[in-house]
Amino acid sequence: MQKCTIILGLSLLLIACDLGFPRMTVNYDNLPQGEIKEYITKRFPNEPEKEALSKLIYAHLDGDNRVDSIKKAVSQMGMTCEAGKEICEYSGYIRTKLTGHSSGSGRAKRIYHIVISPKKGIDSLALEYQIVEDAEN
């Protein structure tokens, strides 16, 4: 009898503690596949860093900084390089939902937009990061 009371008490304590802490669910499905996605998901919830992304690209170039080499490298990493455009882009977002808190919807989108101009080189890499409330279901 005393064992049951202790087990029941511990169970209620765990349930009460569990309800008191916010939880975040994260959905990475809206990020294009590739090494850039892997980098973003490893850094999450921190923002990606331009210097770290530049190093990832340099590692793929093996010292060959020609336009075609840059296009090939960033394409393999998940960026889109369209014919006729002077830039390559990576656009996507992470959806998050926070439960167990008291204010707001708790849903957000973390939007990533990464651009590089292969003609201008790695130094042209630009990264935009934005957090907005997610109104979609």
Give start and end residues of each alpha helix (H) in 1-137: 2-20, 35-43, 50-61, 67-76
Q: State if pTM tops 0.85.
A: no
Reduce the DSSP state of residue 1 to 3 states and report it.
coil
Q: What is the pLDDT of residues 33-61, one digit of tens each?
A: 999 999 999 999 899 999 999 999 999 99
- Which of 3-17, 20-34, 66-80, 92-106 has the highest average model confidence (pLDDT)? 66-80
Distance CA 32, CA 53 (A): 15
Distance CA 39, CA 79 (A): 13
Distance CA 128, CA 130 (A): 7
Distance CA 27, CA 11 (A): 30
Q: What is the pLDDT of residues 80-130, one digit of tens each?
A: 999 888 999 999 999 999 887 556 668 899 999 999 999 999 999 999 999
